[in-house]
Chain A
Amino acid sequence: MSAPAVPALDVERVRQDFPILSRRVRGKPLVYLDNAATSQKPRRVIDAVSRFYGSDNANIHRGVHYLSEQATLAYDAVRAGVARLLNAAMPSEVVFTRGTTEGINLVAQSWARPRLKAGDEILITEMEHHSNIVPWQLVASQTGAVVRAVPVTDTGELDVGVFDRLLTDRTRILALGHVSNALGTINPVRWMVARARERDVVTVVDGAQSVPHLPIDVQSLGCDFFAFSGHKVLGPTGVGVLYGRADRLEAMAPWQGGGDMIETVTLERSTFAAPPARFEAGTPMIAEVIGLGAALEYLEEVGHAAIGAWEEELLGYATERMRELSGVRLIGTAREKAAVLSFVVEGVHPHDVGAVLDDDGVAIRAGHHCAQPLMRRFGLPATARASFAFYNTRDEVDALVRGVAHVRSVFA
C-alpha cells in the first residue's frame, strides 16, 4: 500500500501572498528566519484588518445597529472557526486573549490560585518559555505551592523517566510546551497528558510554537487547557486563544471584571456571564480577531500536510548544511523536531552572529529566547536561532549557511 500523497507546496506561489517577503534589508533581499518570534502576514490578513477598519468597524455584543450586528457575527464566526481548527467540542471553549502569555496567566490565576494549597506541586519542564514558568512561580508564591521541572537531556528531549517520578500525589497541574521555541523539540504531549490524567492532574499546553507547524486536536491531546498566539501563526499581534474544556471553564471565577462579562450588576454585587464571555471583559481586540480568522483560513487552505512536509524538508536540508560547517554546533537534536535550528559558532557570541547575518539580510534571533533555565542547562548564555516557516526556501537556507561562513571569516 502506498502512503497517501501529500499535496506539494508551491513555495514560490505562496511567497507571493506575503508582501514583506519581497522587500530588501540593508540592500539585500530579506531572508526572514525569525518565524518562532513572529510570523509574517499574508495579504489576506492585512486586507481583513484594513477592511474591518475601513468599512465594517463597530463594537460588538452591544449595538442594535447593522454594523454592530455584522461585527458581532464576524467575531463569533472566528470563534467557531478556531473551535473547528482545534477540534474543540464547542465554540464556547474558545476564549480570546491577548496571546499565549495571557492565556497561561488566566489559568494560573483563575483556575489554579483558588485551588492550590501549600505543598501542592505544579510540574513544568526545564525547556519552558518564561511565559510558562513565571505565571506558575507567581501563583506558587501566592498559595505556598511548589514548582518542579522535568529535566532536559543532552539532545534537548524531556527526560520522561524523571517525569514519571516527578508526577506524584502532590502534583496538581502539569504545564508544558508542545514545541520548544528555543530548540524545536516536539514533546510527547499526548502521552504526558495521559499520564497526568491518570492522577487527576490538570494539564495546560503551551501551543505557541506548535499551532504554526502541526495540526492540533485538543480532544485527542486530552488536555484541559491549550493556549496559543495569533501573531506566530500568520495573524495580527495582540490576539491569542485559550482553549479550556467546558467543565473547567464553567468552574472558574472571572479574572478581570468589566463590561461584556456580566449577567446583572447592582452596586452591591454582580453575577457573571457563562464562558467564554466571562473571561472577555471589556471591548476585545475585534479587528485582530477578524485578522486571526483570515490567517487560520489561509493556513487551512495551504494545508497542514503540505506545510509539514515542506518544513521537514527545509529542516533536514538546513541541519545537513549546518553540520558541514566546522566550528558550528547545533543545540537541540531531538528525534522529533519542528523547523527550528539553534546553534552556536565557536568563539563567537550569538549576538555577533546575528549582527553579521543581519548585514547579509538574514534575520535570525540571538539570545536566550526567554528560556534562561534551558540555556543554563546547556551551559550557554545564549544561542543563535534560525526558525523556518513554510514560505522559506532552500535558497534561504543557503543564504543562512553563507552568512555563518561570513561570521567565521569576520571573527577568524
Chain B
Amino acid sequence: MASLNELYQNVILEHNRSPRNYRAIPDASGKASGHNPLCGDEVTVWIRMNGEVIDDVSFEGAGCAISRASASLMTGAVKGKTRPEAVALFERFQRLVTGNAAGEPPETLGKLAVFSGVSGFPVRVKCASLAWHTLRSALDGATSDESRR
C-alpha cells in the first residue's frame, strides 16, 4: 500500500519549505500561469531562452507541498536544457507520477525520482504535474531569440 513517507519524501518537504528559483524573471522571454480549478492551486512559470536553451527558469504560486516542491525541483532540472530536452523530461516525469514508467529506472531521473510515490496517490498527480504543464505553455508561447529576429 502507498505510504505517506513515500509521498512526502524529505527532499519534497525540504523544497516545500525552501523552494528554489521562487521569483519572477523581469526580462523573461516566456511566462505562463497554471491553475487547478479542483483545488485552487495556482502557479506562474517564467523562462528566459538563450537560443534553444532555457537560460533561466523560475516560479511563484500557491499550492500544496507536492505542487510547490515539484515546481522547485522542475526549475533545477530544466535549467540549461534545450526545449526538446525539457519536453522529453516532462513526458518522462508524467509517466513516473502516473505509474506508467515501467522499464525506466526512476533514479535516471535524478532528483525528480522523489516523486515516484505520487503514483500511489492518484489525486495528487495533478499537484505534481501542474508546474510542468505550465512550463510547457510557457515554452510554447515563448519567443526564442531565433524567432525574435
Contact = CB atoms under 8 A, between A and B. Distances in A.
Contacts of A375: 40
A27 to B, nearest CB: 7
B67 to A, nearest CB: 8
Nearest to B65: A352
A372 B41 CA distance: 12
Given A27-B1, A381-B62, A410-B4, A355 B121 contact: yes
Contact of A351 (B1, B3, B4, B127): B127
Contact of A410 (B8, B41, B64, B127): B8
Given A382-B39, A410-B8, A355 B124 contact: yes
B4 to A, nearest CB: 4
B102 interface: no
A352 B64 contact: yes
Q: Could you say which of B3, B64, B66 has the most chain A C-beta atoms within 10 Å of its C-beta?
A: B64
Given A349-B65, A381-B41, A381-B62, A355 B1 contact: no
A348 B39 CA distance: 14
Given A349-B64, A349-B65, A381-B62, A355 B7 contact: yes
A359 B1 CA distance: 11
B24 to A, nearest CB: 19
A356 interface: yes
A368 B40 contact: yes
Contacts of A27: 1
Contacts of B65: 348-349, 351-352, 411
Contact of B63 (A349, A356, A372, A410): A349
Contacts of B8: 352, 355, 410
B119 to A, nearest CB: 14
A382 B40 contact: yes
A381 B1 contact: no
Contact of A372 (B3, B40, B127): B40
A13 interface: no
Interface string B1-35: 10110011000010010000000000000000000
B4 A355 contact: yes
A284 interface: no
Contacts of B38: 367
A350 B64 CA distance: 7
Chain B at the A interface: SS class: mixed
A26 interface: yes
A342 B124 CA distance: 22
Question: Chain B interface: which size bin?
Answer: 20 to 34
B37 to A, nearest CB: 9
Nearest to A347: B17
B1 A26 contact: yes
A381 B36 CA distance: 11
Contacts of A355: 4, 7-8, 64, 121, 124
Contact of B42 (A359, A367, A381): A381
B22 to A, nearest CB: 15
Interface string B124-148: 1001000000000000000000000
Interface in A316-363: 348-352, 355-356, 359
Interface string A355-387: 110010000001110001001000001100000
Contacts of B66: 351-352
Contacts of A367: 38-40
B4 A359 contact: yes
Contacts of A351: 39, 41, 63-66, 124, 127
Contacts of B62: 349, 381
Q: Could you say which of A352, A356, A381 has the most chain B C-beta atoms within 10 Å of its C-beta?
A: A352
Q: Could you say which of B39, B66, B124 has the most chain A C-beta atoms within 10 Å of its C-beta?
A: B39
Contact of A356 (B1, B4, B40, B68): B4
B7 A381 contact: no
A351 to B, nearest CB: 4
Nearest to B127: A351
Contacts of A352: 8, 64-66
Contacts of B13: 410-411
A367 B40 CA distance: 7
Q: Could you say which of B4, B13, B41 has the most chain A C-beta atoms within 10 Å of its C-beta?
A: B4
A382 B41 CA distance: 9
A266 to B, nearest CB: 46
Closest 9 CB pairs of A and B: A351-B64, A349-B64, A359-B4, A381-B40, A368-B40, A352-B65, A381-B62, A352-B64, A367-B39
24 contacts: A26-B1, A348-B65, A349-B62, A349-B64, A349-B65, A351-B65, A351-B66, A351-B124, A351-B127, A352-B8, A352-B66, A355-B7, A355-B8, A355-B64, A367-B39, A375-B40, A381-B40, A381-B41, A382-B39, A382-B40, A410-B4, A410-B8, A411-B16, A411-B65
Given A351-B64, A351-B124, 10 more contacts: A27-B1, A351-B63, A355-B8, A366-B39, A367-B38, A372-B40, A381-B42, A381-B63, A382-B39, A410-B8
